[in-house]
Amino acid sequence: MKKILIIGATSAIAGATARLFAERGDALYLVGRNNDKLQVLAGDLRVRGRGQVVTEELDLNDMAAHEAMIARATAALQGLDAALIAHGTLSDQSACQASVEMTLMEIKTNALSAISLLTLLANIFEAQKQGCIAVISSVAGDRGRQSNYVYGSAKAMVTAFLSGLRQRLAKAGVSVVTVKPGFVDTPMTSGFKKGPLWAVPEKVAADIVHAMDGKGGEIYTPWFWRFIMLIIRHIPEVIFKRLRL
């Protein structure tokens, strides 16, 4: 039985991951913005699992509240073995282009709030010398593309931050997992046309649990995105700037 903090728990990927944790008997502390959704999820997890499920409603852009939330989670579960940070918004690229305010808000939601949480969690996990921190980043962070570079650059920041954090925490025996999902069929992407590259949240969740149980590191999910992004990263700028990606 593990004690797991899930931040942004009502996202489709986090919800599917929480089910896998609950089914194996883990105790869960769920944090999310919408209390109605949190209660529906918590009720579901209580039927599927036998472990403890606690919820907390919090807007994660309220960074001043992060420290107290983590303290409450630690107290409620009597310790933490793992944390999964999964909150985020899929930025409206064209709206961001027209608004500095919106661009900065997207960066705050998708990067800064995660970095605030990571800074606090890293110190706790480093001191206790065990555990796993996992964050849902994105393949979009591997290279900025005109269609979503605001979201992509926020995720790039998270990915780079985690890369450094992984090095630092390795000495303390704490694993750090960077999850890079490709296209996932969730409410966040409901407006998109789906094709063969699209994965279901349950598949991504299984990959996350597998990585969090293992040694950590960067995972692409589904796995083939590693090769797609390898190609995309290596396209020379001269050609890249003419592409419509």
Q: Applying CB under 8 A, what is the total number of residues that bind another protein?
A: 15
Q: Does 37 bind another protein (CB under 8 A)?
A: yes
Query: In this complex, which beta carbon is closest to another protein, that of residue 44 or of residue 213?
Result: 44
Residues 223/224/226/230 CA torsion (nearest 10 deg) = 170
Task: Count Cα neighbours of 159 within 13 Å in the Cβ-side half-sphere.
Answer: 19
**220: its two tokens:** 């692409």
* Residue type at 102 in one-letter notation: M
Is-catalytic flag, 151? yes
**Is residue 41 within 8 Å of residue 10, measured between CB atoms?**
yes
Query: Binding another protein by CB under 8 A: which of 33, 48, 108, 145?
Result: 48
Query: In this complex, which beta carbon is closest to another protein, that of residue 192 or of residue 227?
Result: 192
Stretch that binds another protein, among 108-116, 143-151, 183-191, 213-221 (CB under 8 A): 183-191
Helices (H) and strands (E) in the chain, counts: 10, 7
Bridge partners of residue 134, in order along the sequence: 84, 177
CB of 180 to another protein, least distance (A): 24
Task: Exactly one of 29, 149, 151, 220 is catalytic; name it.
Answer: 151
**198: its two tokens:** 């699209």
Query: In this complex, which beta carbon is closest to another protein, that of residue 126 or of residue 185?
Result: 185
CB of 45 to another protein, least distance (A): 8
CB of 190 to another protein, least distance (A): 6
* Residue type at 64 in one-letter notation: A
**22: its two tokens:** 């609950």
Helices (H), 24-59: 35-48
Q: Does 24 bind another protein (CB under 8 A)?
A: no
Query: In this complex, which beta carbon is closest to another protein, that of residue 196 or of residue 236?
Result: 196
* Residue type at 202 in one-letter notation: E
Query: Segment 184-213, which members bind another protein (CB under 8 A)?
Result: 187, 190-194
**26: its two tokens:** 């883990």
Query: Binding another protein by CB under 8 A: which of 25, 43, 164, 214?
Result: 43
Residue 24, number of CB atoms within 10 A of its CB: 14
**136-175 footprint of another protein as x/- string (CB under 8 A):** ----------------------------------------
3-class DSSP state of 83 = strand
CB of 33 to another protein, least distance (A): 14
CB of 40 to another protein, least distance (A): 5
SS3 content of the chain, % helix, strand, coil (to 5): 55, 15, 30
Q: Does 47 bind another protein (CB under 8 A)?
A: yes
Bridge partners of residue 56, in order along the sequence: 31
Q: Which residues are at the interface with another protein (CB under 8 A)?
A: 23, 36-37, 40-41, 43-44, 47-48, 187, 190-194
